[in-house]
Structure formats: C-alpha cells, structure tokens
Amino acid sequence: MSFLDLARKRQSDRGFLAQPVERLQIERCLEAARLAPSACNSQPWFFVVVDEPALRTAIAAELNHFAMNRFAPTAPVLVAVVAENPTLLPRLGGMIKDKPYYLLDIGMAVEHFCLQAADEGLGSCIIGWFNEAGVKRLLGIPKGKRVPLVIALGYPADPATRPKTRREPDATRSYNDYPGTR
C-alpha cells in the first residue's frame, strides 16, 4: 500500500468487534509512535495500554463524557497518552515562541500510532473529549500530569473505508504567498 493509500485508509472508527488485538500488533503501533519526530527530540509522551477488561470498561466510562464517545466500551484496547515533562530546551522554546510544542509532538506520535494500526488492518479513534481526572485516577497517573488524548483501538465493526470529508485542496494551500493579502 502506498503511503497516500494508507493515509486514505486511516479513519476514525467508532465501533469495534469483540475480537482481541494481539500484543505484538499493539507493540508495532507503539513502535511507530516512538519513532515520531518531536521538538528538540524531547519525546514528551508515555503510552498506558489498557487491555484488561474490567479496567478498560472503567476507562471507557470516563471517555463516554456528556454523551460523547458512547462507542468507547466496544474498543478492546484503550491507550492513554500521558504528556511527559518536555526537556528544558523545548519547554523554554515553547514559552518564548508561545507554541505548545509538546502537544504538536504528541499529535504526531498519535498519528504514527494510528497509521500503523491502519496498516495492521486495525481501526482506531483519537479521543480528546473525556473526563481526564477520571482516567488519571484509574491509571494512577499523577495529578500534575496531563492526558491530552486516548486512542481507541480494535478491529472495526465496519471495515469499509469511508470517503473523507475534507476542505477542497485549493482552500488549503497556495504557493509563494498567502492568498488575498496583496
């Protein structure tokens, strides 16, 4: 599969089969995430994989937040992404430049994870709307740390690739200057 085909195949799956996911497959997704780039190579991430059924059910309840993410209990694997303290240089740089580099880094690592999942024939959904305090309490994550995202992973209930809903190409790019300013 070409990289573009893989990018087309990756989609947010919001319903999963009960079929378990092999740890080896999870490991390959984690390896893809580990290889992601980050500001000053800070690698400010830690992945807590939850595949133990009772704990997973409890985490899923925290993801089903104000009627969002009702599908979460169907995912056989949930991965909480913990933001680790960035090293001094990107932290300072982020403050000076007013850019939360660590969130950009985590976004890239999470997308690497999800693309590897798609390559494995697995489905995933990046989840950013959830009860963070509840997830942290269940996983023993210290209060001072943040959990920006959770990834739902499993075999999709509907494996068909949907057409992507995206802005038109011309609305997303230009060459050599920004449109409409001169």
Summarize as ranges the residues that interact with ligand FMN (CB under 6 A).
11-12, 14, 68-69, 125-129, 164
> How far apart are CB 141 and ligand FMN at their closest, in Å?
18
Rounded to the nearest 10 degrees, the angle between the axes of helix 23-34 and helix 101-119 is 140
Nearer to ligand FMN, 126 or 139 (CB): 126
> How far apart are CB 138 and ligand FMN at their closest, in Å?
17
Among 23, 24, 128, which Cα is nearest to 83's?
A: 128
Nearer to ligand FMN, 11 or 25 (CB): 11
> How far apart are CB 92 and ligand FMN at their closest, in Å?
25
Q: Which residue is nearest to ligand FMN (CB)?
A: 128
Nearer to ligand FMN, 57 or 161 (CB): 161
| Max intra-chain CA distance, the chain | 59
